[in-house]
Amino acid sequence: MPDASPRPEPFTPQTAPAALDDLRTRLRLTRWPDAPEDAGWSLGTDLAYLRELVAHWADGFDWPAQEAALARLPRFRVPLGGLGIHFVHQRAVAPAGPALPLVLNHGWPDSFWRYAKVVPLLTDPGAHGADPADAFDVVVPDMPGYGYSDRPTGPAPDSIAVAGLWAELMDVLGYPRFGAAGGDIGSGVSRYLALDHPDRVVAVHRTDAGAPVFTGDPADLTPEERAWLGDTAGWGAAEGAYAAMHRTKPQTAAFGLTDSPVGLAAWIVEKLRAWSDCGGDIERSFTKDEILTNVTLYWLTGTIGSSMRMYGANGAIPPAQHARRVEVPSGFSLFPGDITRPPRAWLERTANVVRVTEPARGGHFAPFEEPELYAEELRAFFRPYRSAATG
């Protein structure tokens, strides 16, 4: 019988000049809103900064050069679950021993872009001043509805379904056992990989514990846990309007954000600034070209609406799923500029914690903001589990 397993095909997108001409025309014809004097970032994206960024997008930003830079990563597409899935697959370069397979899981508002800087550090540590024995085979998929993966025509998948797809992807790539890591939505995907495929996931690393869900008696929580739950609720009231929109009425926002590149940039840039360890100056964490590469990926793929719809799917995950404890060895790197940093007691309540660190710098997008620090966190955490996957 012929082999019926899906076959990855090399993938190198090349944007048509007409699409870039259309983008620049829209940028130059932007109808700008007003803003109160000295509002800055207090009401959302700062008008003056966005004007500056958009001027560069229209007349200085070189998308073909950024597209070519991303093409240096080995990229593929493969049919899984009725969808075409895009992923980076970079094998270890001259490893000193067997390489550990590792799937890296992104979140919103990004894609495989989140890990673009860190892939070379993980696949070729010897070339970056680290131990060649710490090399990984790295897989970075775009979730359905993100980046260059297909947009689902039906209901968006939740993190449980995406974890199932990635288990299948790792099987297609010939990895019976592997590590998993991620943050934001990717933290949840990594968690469900460990929960639903514990025979395959040797260890799981996360940069957060996800949005807390607790249905038990608050008296059973430590004071630190209760304080953290209160702080998280307060953050949601002050900063969570975007998530409420994504979860409840994403299609309404999608009309404007899909039609207006400036609207799209405003929606994303505010989060890049607020969630990074930039001290209020977004360009301490990202250059203009880096910001615009992420935003242009969303624009050209038309995925802002489909990416937002995943919030509703995840919001419908039953509480019983959130109550499950991860028994696979788990590590957490809690970066100082991230949205929220759970206490150790909560981490141990929800996972088999073997390592918790607090790096000196970095935020929600640590793999992009601080790739060297993030790579070292992964090398150190996964070092004891290499033989479990490769032996």
Catalytic center residues: 184, 311, 364
Enter the DSSP assignment of 317.
S
**Peptide bond connecting 17 to the previous residue in cis, omega within 30 degrees of 0:** no
270 Rama class: left (phi>0) / alpha (psi -120 to 50) / beta: alpha
For the packed helices 261-275 and 17-28, what is the interaxial angle rounded to 10 degrees? 80
Per-residue tokens: 378:
């992964």
CA dihedral 161, 166, 171, 173 (to 10 degrees): 150
Instruction: Yes or no: say if 190 and 205 are a contact pair by the CB < 8 Å rule.
Output: yes
Q: Of 312, 264, 8, 298, nearest to 154 (Cα)?
A: 312
Looking at residue 71, its amino acid is: A
CA dihedral 156, 162, 165, 170 (to 10 degrees): 150
Instruction: Yes or no: say if 379 and 131 are a contact pair by the CB < 8 Å rule.
Output: yes
Q: How many angstroms separate the CA atoms of 201 and 195, rounded?
A: 9
Instruction: Yes or no: say if 225 and 345 are a contact pair by the CB < 8 Å rule.
Output: yes
Q: How many angstroms separate the CA atoms of 124 and 222, rounded?
A: 42
Per-residue tokens: 131:
């131990």
